[in-house]
Amino acid sequence: MSSIEQLFWHPVCDARQVQEDPLPVKLLDQSLVLWRNQNGVVCGLFDRCPHRGARLSLGRICQGQLQCAYHGWTFEGQGQCTRVPALPSFNPGQAQQAKAVAVQERMGLVWVCMDAARTAQAIWPTFAAEWNASMRKFNAGPYEVATSAPRVVENFLDMSHFSFVHDGWLGQAGHSEIPEIHLEESDTGFKVTNAQVWQPNTSALATQGGMVTYTYEVMHPYSAVLTKIPDAQSGVPPGYEESIIVLILPISPDSCRVWFRMAVADFDADVEELLAFQDKIFSQDKPVLESQLPRLLPLGAGVESNVASDKASVAYRRFLQKLAVTFGVC
Ligand code: FES
Ligand SMILES: [Fe+2]
């Protein structure tokens, strides 16, 4: 049986973390094991041996295959058992097979779809700027956060906290009003276009405050893309814009790991400076995020109060409801 969350691709770790040794990771409350085979391809299995239930991640890699630490059953990347050392002439079959997940490397991260049989239907968070060669890409994070993935996405979509949580950075006391936003909903998600805010310090490249046009797009339960276009007044290079996609590993219903994939229209910018800016902004969000109760995002009417300036959050909650997402919500 598979839940809707298993039909999405989820980031699980930085690609460089997966070397030849078995690496345990947790996704959607399930334990998985990853390793890199002799061809450099990342393989992934549920972290449970079909023989006696031992953790496969305690094992070792022999010629690109994972050997269980308990009785040495050995598995190739699709889960096929190739060897039962106690019975050298035995030809292992389906009953000896470990359960595989689908794995891909993208955006410097390893991604897993748990429903390996249905990856053709599985959805990626898409990110138009990722394929734009005139933008420079890099990842900020990961950040460990003691809350649900949906609380993090909702915070990413929320502009009315800027003048409080990011006072002097993305907002300023006295500039709290959020103009009416334009929302377009479709079968696959929603978009917020042309949201205008005044920011004292829009990015690491800004030299002074200015108006910024924000666009948001959501098409994945645990991800959202933001595009920021600051006006020239803020001192950013001409034609500068940036896109940020929030990518989240839902570890348990109320804990997650967060990356921001950034694309900036400037190859001269100092990446360290841009990363430090992102770290600073997220360090302001994190204590508030971890204080929110319940940690699971409440979808039911009347549990939390929504006002007109929460339009994007309300659309996100509606989107999760429509998808019938159950992990990280209540
Ligand atoms: S439990 Fe893995 S080989 Fe026996
Ligand atoms: Fe924030």
The CATH number for 60's domain is 2.102.10.10
Query: Where does a domain end: 121, 139, 155?
Result: 121
Q: Output the CA 89–ligand 1 centroid distance in Å.
A: 17
Asked if residue 85 and residue 232 are part of one domain, the reply reads no
- In the numeric block, the tokens 């690109």 are attached to 64
**245: containing domain:** 128-323
Which residue in 90, 88, 89, 50 sits closest to 70, CA to CA?
50
Q: Which of 33, 45, 52 to mutate to test the pocket of ligand 1 (most atoms within 8 A of CB)?
A: 52
Q: 83 and 171: one domain?
A: no
Q: Which helix (H) or strand (E) holds 312?
A: helix 311-323
Residue 185's SS3 state is strand
What is the identity of the amino acid at 48?
Answer: R
Q: Between the CA of residue 292 and those of 143, 173, 254, 287, what are the distances in Å?
A: 17, 22, 11, 9
pLDDT score of 240: 85
Best residue among 57, 68, 83, 97 to mutate for probing ligand 1, ranked by most atoms within 8 Å of CB: 68
Considering the domain architecture, whether residues 75 and 143 belong to the same structural domain is answered as no
Pocket perturbation via mutation, ligand 1, pick of 47, 55, 62, 70 by most ligand atoms within 8 A of CB: 70
242 and 100 in a common domain? no
Residue 165 sits in the same domain as residue 279: yes
**Statement to judge: residues 160 and 292 lie in one domain:** yes
Number of domains in the chain: 2
Any idea which ligand is nearest the CA of 48? 1
Q: Do 82 and 22 fall into the same domain? A: yes
The pLDDT value recorded for residue 215 is 95
Residue matched to tokens 């990856």? 119
Q: Is 134 helix (H, G, I), strand (E, B) or coil?
A: coil
Ligand 1 pocket, Cβ-based, cut-off 6 angstroms: 49, 51-52, 54, 68, 70-73
Q: Kindly list the averaged pLDDT for each block of 10 residues, start to end, along the chain of length 330.
A: 87 97 98 97 98 98 98 98 98 98 97 95 88 92 98 97 94 88 93 90 85 94 95 84 96 98 90 95 98 97 92 97 97
Last residue of a domain, one of 121, 151, 169: 121
328 located within any domain:
no
CA torsion angle 264 270 273 274 (round to 10): 10
Ligand 1, atom 3, lies closest to the CA of 71
User: 76: CA distance to ligand 2 center in Å?
Assistant: 43
Angle between helices 311-323 and 149-157 in degrees, nearest 10: 140
Tell me, what's the pLDDT at 179?
85
CA 211 to ligand 1 centroid distance, Å: 61
In a domain, 194, yes or no: yes
Q: What is the pLDDT of residue 2?
A: 67
Same domain assignment for residues 87 and 208: no
Whether 312 maps to a domain, the answer reads yes
What is the helix (H) or strand (E) element at residue 275, kind and residue range? helix 271-291
pLDDT at res. 1: 47
240 domain-assigned: yes
Which residues partner with 183 through β-bridges? 192
- Residue where a domain terminates, one of 121, 145, 163: 121
Are 160 and 294 found together in one domain?
A: yes
Protein residues within 5 Å, CB atom, of ion ligand 2: 285
